[in-house]
Chains A and B, each alone.
Chain A
């Protein structure tokens, strides 16, 4: 019996979210009284894999391949690894890859799937997990009733713990992998902090007034090492690209700190930010609903407040 965690690398490196999900897997294994097995697909150096020992990794299955993500092929590999290691619980991150693979893996294992789970299970026997429903307007508890279970973990909900231990690496065969998709081109965002994994997000709404006014917002983001984002009207107007839209139908983010600048706080926007640890809102309208969702609020004009904020944070960063 074991817990199998699928871990994803980017250009051979692991990210903070990998450490979170590995240490989460370890805690699940402890809770279930079983062991943890990791599965890595791609090319990752041995040292990088070994580092995961500190987060609870025991056995690591390393499937070395250059094949790009293909839902069917990857899911098949994960399901076989689960079967071969006798896994009763398969865990993935609730990110674009996890969303693509977990459902296919669940069907292959005839398993129930609950996605976007928040933190550790409510109970192991029966296996009950908690997750947000209705786009953050409700919390739901669900029991997975099948013998084998699949879950995806909402990022930033379990935290990172360290463990004493050493990882054991075992290579697995990937020669039978086939692909039904052909990659034409890949565009990797470079130099910019990714919205999906940023600790700090600086987001602008209609109150920014026009696309030209984004410069000071980007400056603040630069000082804070933050990703930039926007509300729906802004992406609809074409002031910012669609991939920056945070909200119900856009991205759901869970940073430690979220700045809502000139965002009124429509319920659809709140659905995308409700998992943020701390929300700071700046709006000239004291009645804006964003203030009931925010932890800290400033009523004021962005044209004067925003540069002042950038200056104040710059001072803090310089002193620390």
Chain B
């Protein structure tokens, strides 16, 4: 056992913290209020290498491990999860999926610009009538010989409009059920693609969420990842890793709110003393600290397993489930500690609370994680 971070991991954590605390913090409230996409920040973080930090340097990535990724995601999410979700989708879904399962030609053509952050990726799985249930895809990719013809609608797509590269999950052989599903790399600007209006969300308001419609979109055969029918497995495998990113995001939301609550409780006075000296507040802080430490350990364990090449699906489900749940609890308490100030935008914690809610919902709801965890538990014991 070793709970020490390497010097390099600490350097990445510091770099992410510096960027978040110096730059992201500046207009985060403004971006959230007016749902402004963080164009400049995505560009700057790309230049620093955060958008493709997990990708092998051979494909222009940062070559960093998943532990470093968790540390970076936590720091960015302490300030702005609209930015960290872009980072998470690009790194752990799109880049990972192509790097792990794509052909050399696909990596050369699609992965490199994504790893450099020149293009941003989107992962198109959810549908209006199939959110968590990935087996029932209505979007179809009809086999037309040397190309697929894509038709259907995808919902809740992060980076839906800004992405340059889509990974689209679609049904080719309905008769085969989930074994007929394929995953295609699609150029966002292909003819026949239309993007719905920007979703006006409760939280993570400046990330770019849209529905995407495909109307007879031709996709070359060589853009299919893996064998015919590999799509469902691809989605499941990729989401296993994606959960680590979202778990780390939830962790960052919780620890960001916690840090603010601690600071505030040492400044704010009530009944003649700083409120941190009141047991009702101090005990809340203790509980928050324990939950955050637990969530962090779960995230790091899942990341470590992934880095070791060991199975991590069970661990990442636990991390995602737990971190999202405690993010909701911790941010709610942070607002409570701030009292009236917590309910106004200027103090940041209300935004973190709104952001926390989404981590319980997307990339597999808490209930889906419970299914994953319980199935494993029941099969083992």
Contacts and interface: CB of A to CB of B under 8 A. Distances in A.
Nearest to B263: A289
A239 to B, nearest CB: 13
A66 interface: no
Interface in A265-310: 287, 289
Nearest to B268: A287
A184 B341 CA distance: 54
A289 B341 CA distance: 16
Q: What is the interface residue range for chain A against chain B?
A: under 10
Contacts of B341: 287
B266 to A, nearest CB: 10
* Most A Cβ at <10 Å: residue of B264, B267, B268, B341: B267
Contacts of A287: 264, 267-268, 341
Nearest to B341: A287
A287 B340 CA distance: 13
Interface string B259-271: 0000010011000
A156 to B, nearest CB: 30
Interface string B173-187: 000000000000000
B295 to A, nearest CB: 28
Interface in B240-298: 264, 267-268
A289 B268 CA distance: 10
A274 to B, nearest CB: 18
A138 to B, nearest CB: 21
Q: What is the interface residue range for chain B against chain A?
A: under 10
Contacts of A289: 267
A287 B339 CA distance: 13
B148 to A, nearest CB: 51
Nearest to B269: A287
Nearest to A291: B267
A214 B264 CA distance: 29
A171 to B, nearest CB: 54
A244 to B, nearest CB: 20
Contacts of B267: 287, 289
Nearest to B346: A285
Interface string B302-324: 00000000000000000000000
A85 B299 CA distance: 70
A287 B264 CA distance: 8
A289 B264 CA distance: 10
Nearest to B264: A287
A311 to B, nearest CB: 29
Interface string B58-89: 00000000000000000000000000000000
Contacts of B268: 287
B107 to A, nearest CB: 40
A287 B269 CA distance: 8
Nearest to B22: A236
Nearest to A233: B26
A259 B268 CA distance: 23
B346 to A, nearest CB: 9
Nearest to A289: B267
A289 B266 CA distance: 10
A287 B267 CA distance: 6
B33 to A, nearest CB: 16
A287 B338 CA distance: 11
Interface in B312-370: 341
Interface string B29-54: 00000000000000000000000000
B334 to A, nearest CB: 15
B22 to A, nearest CB: 9
A287 B268 CA distance: 6
B27 to A, nearest CB: 11
A153 B267 CA distance: 35
B269 to A, nearest CB: 8
A58 B105 CA distance: 86
B344 to A, nearest CB: 11
A294 to B, nearest CB: 14
A112 B267 CA distance: 42
Interface string B148-166: 0000000000000000000
Nearest to A206: B26
B178 to A, nearest CB: 53
A192 B342 CA distance: 43
Contacts of B264: 287
B18 to A, nearest CB: 14
B262 to A, nearest CB: 14
A289 B263 CA distance: 11
A289 B269 CA distance: 12
A302 to B, nearest CB: 16
B339 to A, nearest CB: 11
A206 to B, nearest CB: 10
A289 B267 CA distance: 7
B192 to A, nearest CB: 45
B90 to A, nearest CB: 29
A305 to B, nearest CB: 19
5 contacts: A287-B264, A287-B267, A287-B268, A287-B341, A289-B267
Interface of B: 264, 267-268, 341
Ranked nearest first, the 4 interchain pairs of A and B with the lowest CB-CB distance are A287-B267, A287-B268, A289-B267, A287-B264
